[in-house]
Amino acid sequence: AQRVTQPEKLLSVFKGAPVELKCNYSYSGSPELFWYVQYSRQRLQLLLRHISRESIKGFTADLNKGETSFHLKKPFAQEEDSAMYYCALKSGETGGSYIPTFGRGTSLIVHP
Amino acid sequence: NAGVTQTPKFQVLKTGQSMTLQCAQDMNHEYMSWYRQDPGMGLRLIHYSVGAGITDQGEVPNGYNVSRSTTEDFPLRLLSAAPSQTSVYFCASSYSGRWTEAFFGQGTRLTVV
């Protein structure tokens, strides 16, 4: 069965510090991986997906199939990055459809 | 476009009561799903649907029922509320396919006393 692990419940950094939110997955095939973000009092929204290989709001994420990881990184954290971040995997395992499985989330707090 | 709309935003139930959480989307998405969000547990899939008339169970389906009579609507029914169902519930929808983005409702905060 597919599984997404986010080992950190909480990550606390100061403004300007580098940030890395960890995500590991277990799936034997080729996964589709995403990062979603939930800002305070807002709904979850897509941050980025690995197929796009793009940087969104300064964040990037690289799929490492050898380590089965999809860590989210940003070189210089900003206060507005404070939010809950969820890693998600789509594999087709859910009844043959692509319904995402989410990790438990990491709360990022960026101090001034 | 309204996107994904959930009602109500807040609800308090007594143990044993039943209720329906409503979810509607206006994007003509094939896929719809319900998640519950609990502290330290992340988002767990309750039920999902890949099209009108088709539903299936997710990771934590017990105590919940769904139906999908139209493309737009995907209500979640709590049959007999229990305190363990106190949670924040999110509805999501997306087009079918590997790389499609899921769009979420604003959530329903449910408390069962």
% of chain A beyond a pLDDT of 70: 95
Q: In whole angstroms, how far apart are CA B96 and each of A4, A63, B61?
A: 21, 22, 22
Band of residue A56 on the pLDDT scale cut at 50, 70, 90: confident
Quote the pLDDT of residue A91. 80
Size of interface A-B (CB pairs under 8 A): 62
Q: How far apart are CA A62 and CA A72, in angstroms?
A: 8
Q: Which residues of A touch B105 (CB under 8 A)?
A: 43
Q: How far apart (Å, rounded) are the C-alpha atoms in residues B92 and B103?
A: 5
Summarize chain B as % helix, strand, coil (round to 5).
Answer: 5, 50, 45
Among A7, A12, A27, A46, smallest CA distance to A89 is for A27
Distance of residue B80 Cα from the nearest chain A Cα, in angstroms: 26
Find the mean pLDDT for residues A77-104.
88
Asked if the model's pLDDT at residue A93 lies above 80, the reply is no
- List, in order, residues 6 or more apart from B56 with CB less than 8 Å away: A94, A95, B47, B48, B49, B50
Mean pLDDT, chain B, as a whole number? 94
Rounded to whole angstroms, the Cα distance separating B43 from A57 reads: 24
Residue A30's pLDDT band (cuts 50, 70, 90): confident
Q: A86: which chain B residues are within 8 Å (Cβ-Cβ)?
A: 42-43
Q: Which of A20-24, A56-60, B37-41 has the lowest mean pLDDT?
A: B37-41
Higher confidence at residue A64 or residue A54?
A64
Q: Tell if the CB–CB gap between A101 and B45 is shorter than 8 Å.
A: yes
Predicted confidence at residue A94, as pLDDT, reads 66
Cβ-contact A74, A83 below 8 angstroms:
no
Average pLDDT, integer, range B28-53: 93
Taking the CA atoms of residue A54, residue A57, residue A59 and residue A61 in that order, the dihedral angle to the nearest 10 degrees is -30
Asked whether A73 and A20 are in contact (CB, 8 A), the reply is yes
How far apart are alpha carbons A85 and A106 in whole angstroms? 5
Cβ–Cβ contacts within 10 Å for residue A86, how many? 25
> What band does A52 get if pLDDT is binned at 50, 70 and 90?
confident
When pLDDT is averaged across residues B83-112 and rounded to a whole number, the result is 94
Q: How confident is the model at residue A41 (pLDDT cuts 50, 70, 90)?
A: confident
More confident residue, B10 or B39: B10
Mutation target vs A (from B47, B94, B98; most A CBs, 10 A cutoff): B98
Report the pLDDT averaged over residues B12-37.
Answer: 96
